[in-house]
Amino acid sequence: MINDPSGNMGGLVEIALSQRDDIKIIPDSLTGFSRTTHYHRGRVNIQLHAPHEHVKIMQTVSERWRDVGLIAIDFTQPISVENNVRLYCAHKIPFIMGTTGGNRISLPHLVEASEISAVIATNMSAPVVMLVDMIIYAATNYPGTLKDWEIRIVESHQAKKQDISGTALTIGEIMKGLGVKFIGPENIRAIRDEIEQLLMGIPRSALGGHGWHKYSLLSPDGNVMLGFEHNINGRDTYVDGTLKALDFLVKKITEGSKGQCFSMPDVMHG
């Protein structure tokens, strides 16, 4: 079950999965549109159900498909994240949540209190996941090394992205383990203006889908600076990571996993 295939990421995932013989895409999907409509890009004509139908359609879908290995893949909208997770848990549908937004602290607890397992990640790209894992290693093994250092994050995404980068927020939070003074969104500058993006060097072809991040750290006395960046054009790397997460979750479910919330590092390690 792909929610929502009419979006950029959901549509690319739907195309990728439609090429696999071991996957069946069901013809129902959750969407944020105010009215029910249809979507047809891959092999399946999918009915997109408006929010007022979500509870009813999830009940129907769970009864019809759960016994044959139903898994939901969620690339909807940040405002829908928590409601969708509650629906998946209530109807015992394992899921992969690639949508950013929602309370990232409470979401894993909802899964852990349920009878299903899930993969929840702010970034599905394997190379970026590797970078995040490296920063976690540094924060764990060098705690306080950058005590009272300032951090500034600049992130650029396509103009349609509504929220601040979940990856930027995640890395900022991890850096606090090193002693860095990360408050939250106040430390992040989100660029959505296409002219400014072109001046940054982002290819025109990537304006509709990219993720550029630059992290700058400054010592309290101003004499030492550290920095790193990760830049992605297009969405192929996120699709590849989503497919890895799907195969990982299927494996875990086959092994009997219940009430476990996995991250992308878990996927890559597994």
pLDDT at residue 102, as a whole number: 83
Residue 255 has pLDDT above 90, yes or no: yes
Residues 185 and 241 in one domain: no
Residues 102 and 184 in one domain: no
Residues 46 and 147 in one domain: no
Domain of 86 in residue numbering reads as 2-120+237-269
pLDDT at residue 136, as a whole number: 94
Q: What is the mean pLDDT of residues 98-104?
A: 86
pLDDT at residue 172, as a whole number: 96
d(CA 160, CA 95): 25
In the residue annotation, 181 being an active-site residue is answered as: no
Considering its fold, how many domains does the chain have in total? 2
Of 49, 54, 91, 157, the active-site residue reads 157
Residues 111 and 9 in one domain: yes
Residues 145 and 64 in one domain: no
Residues 226 and 262 in one domain: no
pLDDT, averaged across the chain? 94
Question: What's 31's domain CATH number?
Answer: 3.40.50.720
Question: What's 194's domain CATH number?
Answer: 3.30.360.10
Residues 21 and 39 in one domain: yes
Residues 242 and 230 in one domain: no
Q: Mind listing the pLDDT tens digit for each residue in 181-229? A: 999 999 999 999 999 999 999 999 999 999 999 999 999 999 999 999 9
Q: Mind listing the pLDDT tens digit for each residue in 126-181? A: 999 999 999 999 999 999 999 999 999 999 999 988 889 989 999 999 999 999 99
Residues 184 and 202 in one domain: yes
Of 49, 91, 161, 244, the active-site residue reads 161
Residues 8 and 81 in one domain: yes
Q: Mind listing the pLDDT tens digit for each residue in 14-64? A: 999 999 999 999 999 999 877 778 887 767 889 999 999 999 999 999 999
Q: What is the mean pLDDT of residues 235-242?
A: 96
In the residue annotation, 40 being an active-site residue is answered as: no
Residues 41 and 93 in one domain: yes
pLDDT at residue 76, as a whole number: 93
Residues 136 and 85 in one domain: no
